[in-house]
Chains A and B, each alone.
Chain A
Amino acid sequence: MENQTLLTIEDLSVQFVSAGIRTTALSGLSLTAKEGEILAVVGASGAGKSLLAHAVLGLLPKNAQVTGRMTYKGQVLNEKTLPRLRGKEITLIPQSVTYLDPLMPVGRQVYYPMNKQEGRAKTAALFEEYGLSPEVMKKYPFELSGGMTRRVLFSAAVLSGAKLLLADEPTPGLSRETARHVLRHLRAFAKEGRAVLLITHDLDLAVECADRVAVLYAGTLLETAPACDFAADGAALRHPYSQSLWNALPQNGFHPVTGNMPSPGERVESCPFAPRCPKKTALCREKPVPLRPLRGGTVRCIHAT
């Protein structure tokens, strides 16, 4: 059965202009997210993961210039359509717990877009499902632990009824068991026919819970792969960076790669991983590498087979 594609991103680029200097933060990114699927977006901090989510929601700062095309159910996402979709069809589970209003009880923050009576009942039911006691409704954000706050943010996302969920780093600081619990909730969302974009730097958790994994590096999408390709020594993966990332995990060899990811100001048009890549040749530095389909995924590497 073919599930409907909810989100399509084609050739998305984001540039920031500050004091006359233009820096490219995301370049030529193409992705799709389907109903019923969890798509993980992984990469180092500064690779552009959160920026991607904010671009989809149209929440970038004013000095950002966006090019490319994004559609939701075939409808182009722009400043006209987004205000209608945001929070209703597409919603964000934010990274930071500071996204809650410190001066409003958390229960009301979950249901305030709704009719009070109905909203309160639904919120109470959701809180119960997430193991939050009814008293939590009346508490203020500062009275909750990190894990409780995360469950409140999840409740708000579910209650909105959105079909596309963008979860920005929902697991850091949580123990393995709590993190798995959070990811089970994401799986439940997907089973109900929603699409989940899971943004994370935690590769082993992403691989454990997602259907597909997109690998970002220095603002560039280097590979999308079925999650099951992240296995054994990573030979099924398409890009050398994805393989390095996988083999750097403590349980997979703990192999570091020397050098640093280029920062936005020093990015080049050719392969951004070339300076650190074990498979680089002179060709890698010559011109931009296009993203191409390969073995049920996509890759941006001239050597990938």
Chain B
Amino acid sequence: MEEGERVGLIGPSGCGKSTLAKVLSGMLCPQAGEVRLDEKPLPKKGYRPVQLIFQHPEQAVDPKWRMEQILNEGYFPDRDLLNALGIEKEWLIRYPRELSGGELQRFCIARALGPKTRFLLCDEISTMLDPITQAQLWELLLHCSEKRGMGLLVITHNRALAERVCTRIVKFEDLNGKGEETHAKK
């Protein structure tokens, strides 16, 4: 992936898309092969420049922490970002179960957008959201991606969504050394 490139990854369930995302972010170690960023292996310590956002935000946060603590675990997101994400001040003192899925997902996005994030892996991040919340989140992510030159890997079942947000679409089954299908949107 190039800097600031937005790649859509599509394929049937169970084919390995989420596992690939975990490997690319450094959460899982590959048995063979290597993931390189700027021609160097991913850093093993410190801030992870490749961040992963999951489909179910309620499974990605500590249920016993307040939202403020969850939000500031990796870095301190500024108020502008929180406003852009529609995160309201009174949500910060709540616990995860006191927020809806869409509201929680905004926190998961905010905490992954640290200044050192170079690539964001989005694994079905808007599947459980209504269309308006989905469009809100993607508007912000596209804006961040353009402003910072941050790359996006968009894993989704929703072809229309991939065509909307990506510069290139890849079928998972084509990743085994074969060519890539390309659909340039812009």
Contact = CB atoms under 8 A, between A and B. Distances in A.
B135 A255 contact: yes
Contacts of B161: 250
B31 to A, nearest CB: 24
B124 to A, nearest CB: 8
A43 B130 CA distance: 7
Q: Which of A147, A176, A245, A248 has the most CB of B within 10 A?
A: A248
B131 interface: yes
B101 to A, nearest CB: 4
Interface stretch (A85-93, A153-161, A186-194, A257-265): A257-265
Given A258-B86, A260-B103, A147 B13 contact: yes
Contacts of A146: 13
A248 B132 contact: yes
A9 B55 CA distance: 34
Interface string B102-130: 11000000000000000000001001111
A146 B56 CA distance: 15
A45 B101 contact: yes
Given A45-B100, A175-B13, A259 B86 contact: yes
A34 interface: no
Interface of B: 12-14, 55, 86, 88, 100-103, 124, 127-136, 138-139, 157-161, 163-165
A277 interface: no
Nearest to B15: A175
A112 interface: no
B77 to A, nearest CB: 18
Contact of B160 (A251, A258, A261): A251
B155 to A, nearest CB: 12
A126 B14 CA distance: 25
A245 B131 contact: yes
Contact of A250 (B128, B133, B136, B160): B160
A244 B173 CA distance: 36
A26 to B, nearest CB: 15
Interface residues of A, number: 33
Contact of A260 (B86, B129, B134): B86
B157 A248 contact: no
Contacts of B163: 250
Interface string A26-64: 000000000000000011111100000000000000000
What is the predominant secondary structure among interface residues of chain A facing chain B?
loop
A40 B139 CA distance: 28
Nearest to A44: B130
A212 interface: no
Contacts of A46: 100-103
A201 B129 CA distance: 7
Nearest to B11: A175
15 contacts: A45-B101, A45-B129, A174-B157, A175-B12, A178-B13, A201-B128, A201-B130, A203-B130, A244-B132, A249-B160, A250-B164, A256-B132, A256-B135, A256-B136, A259-B86
Contacts of B103: 46, 260
A174 B55 CA distance: 13
A257 B132 contact: yes
Given A245-B130, A250-B163, A174 B13 contact: yes
Contacts of B100: 44-46, 261, 263
Nearest to A203: B131
Interface in A237-277: 244-246, 248-251, 254-261, 263
A253 to B, nearest CB: 9
Listed from nearest, the 7 A-B pairs whose CB atoms lie closest are: A46-B100, A248-B131, A256-B135, A44-B130, A250-B160, A251-B160, A256-B136
Nearest to A200: B130
Given A44-B132, A45-B102, 7 more contacts: A146-B13, A172-B127, A173-B124, A173-B127, A248-B130, A257-B132, A260-B88
Contacts of A45: 100-102, 128-130
A88 B158 CA distance: 36
Nearest to B124: A173
A115 interface: no
